[in-house]
Structure 1
């Protein structure tokens, strides 16, 4: 009886090993090799040059998944989004790159400039609606001061034509009420200078 169990165990083990070997060979034959990172980046560049932005982004997302520690695919996606004025997504993708390399200048530049462009648009919209007041206004002024100091500039948005943009004398106002800036419609940063 012991011999029958030994033979049965050997046959079962042999069948399991044969099944594993067969599955492994078919899995290896079916698996496709992912392209190298350099090849993926080159393919994305070629797709961009051909005007196939969606294809380029798909290639880059695949490269980001295949090479999760590399910042290059994320930076290239961020640059594509930035070039197409999709600043919110550009910031998100640049931050992915910055998680991999916090000192990357391109990633930091995309985040900074995209953020400023989004802020400029929001301030322009608020200025058109004349809703920039109170604490929001003082916070915007503080940020403008910080930007002027950081950039070493006295004026953040230089006037397009100095003769056309002469300072307008403020209209007389009620005692204690702030004077309105007539240039606020043309210059969203007029109150921040």
Structure 2
């Protein structure tokens, strides 16, 4: 009987220890730091860009775009940064992302339009320099030029370059007609002269 009492006391003691262990409050799990607000992300990206850390700024904005998928601000900021650096293809892509979130955003639409025109202008200038602007490509470029003239209400998209007075006197003094000098200058200085 002594051994039965001893076993029951050991069992009670083990149960009490087990219950005491369960009753001890657990240490709270470390809290994950709160995600930065969109304003904080934009501020950090702006500070990084001003410090010349362009890649870091873009990475912060991409993270902001992932954390706040319905907000246009990170995409618009990336589009503006790419536009300012002359990376027009990327600027268009980011501006289109902003337009998916805010279809009427004037800045995003402007970035898409101006970036597209700059890319097109460069491509047309390259083709013109290579003398490969002919056929259907030429007629399509002329139609686009007409559409642009109508859109902005201008008769001429690219005004002719003005020559200084001294240059005009030299052309007249050399016996070359001013129109021929202007035509020769227009063919090299104005890649869009044929589209007027």
For 1:143-162, what aligned pairs fall within 5 Å after superposition?
A: 143-162=144-163
Secondary structure of 2:81's match?
helix
Structure showing greater Rg: 2
Residue-by-residue CA offset, 1:85-133 (whole Å, 9 max, x unaligned): 0000000000000000110000000000000000000000000000000
Q: Which residue of 1 aligns with 2:175?
A: none
* 2:152 aligned with 1:140: no
Match of 2:72 in 1: 71
Question: Which one of the candidate residues 156, 174, 190 is aligned to 1:187?
Answer: 190
After superposition, the C-alpha distances for 1:107-162 in whole angstroms (9 at most, x for unaligned) are 00000000000000000000000000001000000000010111011111112315
Cross-structure match for 1:13? none
Q: Deviations over 1:15-58 (max 9, x none)?
A: xxx9xxx9xx64xx363321000010011111111111111111
CA RMSD of aligned residues (A): 2.2
Q: Which residue of 2 aligns with 1:107?
A: 108
The reply to whether residue 120 of structure 1 matches residue 132 of structure 2 is no
Higher helix share: 2
State the partner residue of 1:61: 62
Matches within 5 A, 1:12-31: 26=29, 29=30, 31=32
Unaligned runs of 5+ in 1: 1-17, 170-180
> Which TM-score applies when normalising by structure 1?
0.76
What are the residue-to-residue correspondences of 1:39-54 with 2, within 5 Å?
39-54=40-55
Q: Mark the CA change 1:151 to 1:168 in structure 2 (over 3 Å): closer, same or farther.
A: farther
Question: C-alpha distance in 1, partners of 2:161/2:193?
Answer: 13
The Cα of 1:185 is off from its aligned counterpart by: 3.0
In the aligned structure 2, how far is the partner of 1:59 from the partner of 1:52? 11
**Secondary structure in 2 matching 1:132:** coil
8 Å Cα contact 1:81/1:89 also seen in 2: yes
Q: Please name the residue that 1:168 is paired with.
A: 180
Between the two proteins, the alignment pairs up a number of residues equal to: 158
> Tell me, which stretches of 5 or more residues in structure 2 are unaligned?
1-21, 169-177
Equivalent pair of 1:127/1:185 in contact (CA under 8 Å)? no
| 2:8 match | none
